[in-house]
Amino acid sequence: MEEIVKKRKTPALPDRIWIKYGNWEFHTGEHKEIRDLSENDVTGIVEKVRSGLCSSLYLTPDEDGEMEEGFFQLESAGGDGLIFLQISKEEERTAWACFDPDYLDSDGEAPIEPSDGQSVIPMKCTMRDWELAAKCVEWYVRTGEPYPGMDWLKLSW
């Protein structure tokens, strides 16, 4: 089932770091790991996303990088290209994705090459706003939840 969750008032951003593990690729290799995130790491990640220099990012609260506790995924075409954001909570059988209202009825695939080399990203689950993507990343790093200042496409199964 799909539903659009509308943006709402954004409360103050917590100071804590909720994420325990990150990778500059979607769960594909240890050589790009980010462990023991510090405030400087968070700032660096957010700035890399904000500037459009991030083509892939995987974040999870699990310190070993496993997906069971949920995860955040960003894949992009880089620069001013398309961005795919997804938050998955497998135990709740729920995921949230960014979306483009112009493509909601489309079955087309986005021209984004995912870091795992096999995922297919629907065109409807893309956006182009790097500033908003950076806010989503920082919110997830600190709360483990979708950023409330953006509309999301919620998927349940």
Where do the structural domains in the chain lie, given as residue ranges?
2-7+15-156
Q: How far apart are CA 88 and CA 68, in angstroms?
A: 9
Q: What is the mean pLDDT of each successive set of 10 residues along the chain, which is 157 residues long?
A: 97 95 71 84 95 93 90 87 96 96 95 88 97 98 98 97
Residue 118, C-beta contacts closer than 8 angstroms, at least 6 positions apart: none
Element holding 153 (H helix, E strand)? strand 152-156
Which of these, 105, 121, 141, 136, lies nearest to 2 by C-alpha position? 105
Q: What is the pLDDT of residue 16?
A: 96
Q: What is the pLDDT of residue 27?
A: 53
Which of these, 61, 64, 70, lies nearest to 141 by C-alpha position? 61
Other C-beta atoms closer than 10 Å to the C-beta of 89 total 16
Q: How far apart are CA 96 and CA 100, in angstroms?
A: 13
Which of these, 151, 144, 107, 150, lies nearest to 131 by C-alpha position? 150
User: What tokens were used for 91?
Assistant: 């135990």
User: What tokens were used for 14?
Assistant: 């917590």
